Amino acid sequence: MRCNYIREKKILCGDEYMAVGIFSITPTEHSARRKKRKESTEGQKAKNKMASMRRRQRVALANFTRRGFFITATYEDCYLPEDLQACRKDVRNYLRRVIAATCKRFGVEKKHIRLMLAAVRKGEAGRLHMHGFAECVGLDERERREWREMLEDLWRRRIPGTSEFEPLGTINVDRMDMGKLLGKDGKNGTLGYLYGHKERLWVETSTLRRPVEQAPNDTRWSRKQLRTACGEMANDAYWWSQRFPGWELQKCVVLEPGELHESPGSERPDGWERNEPQCYVILRRVEAAKPRT
């Protein structure tokens, strides 16, 4: 089955970032979405996991900036949960305490608090712990330092029969590294690290902004242009800025056929051109030049 279309799929991630997928599709995919008819293969499951990681990365880009924090929290042996669901309960309680304490101390509205946390375990023999992102919009530098200390203090439990608290374990609240979040190290960055955990359950605030997927464009790119984008111009920031005025290249990943397709049950039909390249790019909005006075 010959591929006659090159699809451009743009997803706006908040006000600052945009993710773009450029990949080949079949005439059937161009005309209508295919329904899932059989269980996904192991290869497709791996592709679906990668697609899930990219979607989660876009949510992070839509909500967190360099003014946010990355959290890692572990347990003392005596407080280690029995299973992942119990760990998730601790994470959910932590989220509630953070929201309540933040609103009370800083007088901010709940809608300004963004948390995306996960109860995780590296493997069957791994220890349960928590990772996540946090940001409170509108805090000044002094308040931000206080909030960072508060995030560390709230990883705790009440001592039974008293009104006092004790730490559940150790917790590190680090400044957000946008390079790692974008995966500029050539790998999948922070979200790739989180998805490297075999088990993970997410807990997040309802205030998170969701990326906005625009209608796909199947006529803008030619096969030759796609191959150029995946080849000599893959990391040429100027070339990409010409293709997308007002945006600058942050990362370009050239993918094997099928890796980018994110619809559930998206196995390709037999006979489609598997040697066609495709790419996934993340762009950052360029600030408008200030007029001269």
Q: For residues 245-274, give the mean pLDDT.
A: 65
pLDDT, one tens digit per residue, over 157-190 is 988 888 889 999 999 999 999 999 998 876 788 9
Q: For residues 184-197, give the mean pLDDT.
A: 86
Is residue 138 classed as helix, strand or coil in its secondary structure? coil
Domain boundaries, the chain: 5-51+218-285, 69-175
Question: Structurally, what CATH architecture does the domain formed by 69-175 represent?
Answer: 2-Layer Sandwich (3.30)
Closest CA to 10 of 1, 19, 2: 19
pLDDT reading at 223 higher than 60 = yes
What is d(CA 229, CA 208) in angstroms, rounded to the nearest whole number? 32
Higher pLDDT, 265 or 199: 199
pLDDT band at 2 (very low <50, low <70, confident <90, very high): low
Q: For residues 21-29, give the mean pLDDT.
A: 80
Q: What 8-state DSSP symbol labels residue 289?
A: P
The pLDDT of residue 38 = 52
Q: Which residue has the tokens 């370009």?
A: 252
The pLDDT of residue 73 = 98
The pLDDT of residue 1 = 46
Mean pLDDT check: name the lowest of 22-36, 47-61, 191-205: 22-36
The pLDDT of residue 10 = 97
The pLDDT of residue 257 = 67
pLDDT, one tens digit per residue, over 68-96 is 999 999 999 999 999 999 999 999 999 99
pLDDT band at 258 (very low <50, low <70, confident <90, very high): low
Q: In which element (H, E) is residue 203 found?
A: strand 199-204
Cα dihedral across residues 252, 195, 33, 59: positive or negative: negative
**Structure token pair of residue 271:** 């006979």
Q: Which residue has the tokens 């592709």?
A: 47
Q: For residues 89-117, give the mean pLDDT.
A: 97
